[in-house]
Amino acid sequence: MLSDQTRDTGSKPLGVTSPLFCTPARAWRSLIGSVLRITAVSMTLAGLASASNEGELMSQYFVAVKVPASVRKDLAQVQFETPSDEKSPDIRWSRPDQYHLTLLFIGPRPPGTLESLSRSLSAVAQSHGTFSLDLTGLGSFPFSERVDSSPRVLWAGVHGDVEDLHLLMKDLGKSLAIRQDFPLAPHVTLARARAPEDGSGFVACIESAHGKRFGTWAVRDFVLLESTGGEYLERGRFRLADSQAPPGPTAESPGKISQE
């Protein structure tokens, strides 16, 4: 029951805040404010959901030179020649069919941009000629002069026409407006350690392969790879200007390279 004070003055009971006891104008203001707040929250959630969905649809892309089978055979022996007592279960060795030299990491791209991406890469390929590379010796990251250091990454060193290689990398980045820092040493990754102490066996590998030459090949093309669903998918192969094959992307079916 309303108090006498309420009946006499028409004021709302103490502690009652319901809009039903507000003046019509105040009630409308309260209602409109609530609607605006709910709308703002809904729009924010919708935006986050949309961004999340787009992120899920976008794959990671990068450009690389694939190591030919003739060179992969000798390179793969590094793993098998590593003494068993130097091996660790926490070492992830790359599969031979994964061996590649990364030229440019593109990153995520939304669906539907593959065609324009291929056109840009094709134009770069036609402005560069064939050059020669060879893989000699092993190295590691991070660099260290300590013999007892524990590296995290084991790689094969890339030599040969490195100047031509860097020029190609530079033009690829320029064509796609991607700034990239050149690696301290061009390389093909062979293995990764999950933790610094797991890579202690890499030191023995590096010493045993000092100056060892794994093979030479003529670089006549590069590929666009998509990283998605635990595997690398070849999305285009681009011939260099003076290669014997017709210029531009080849009509080969996309290849597939399983990741670890």
Cite the active site residues.
100, 187
Residue 77 CA to residue 96 CA, distance in Å, equals: 10
Sheet order of strands, 187-193 included:
91-93, 187-193, 153-160, 131-141, 213-219
Q: What is each CA distance from 40 to 19, 28, 33, 34, 43, in whole angstroms?
A: 22, 18, 11, 10, 5
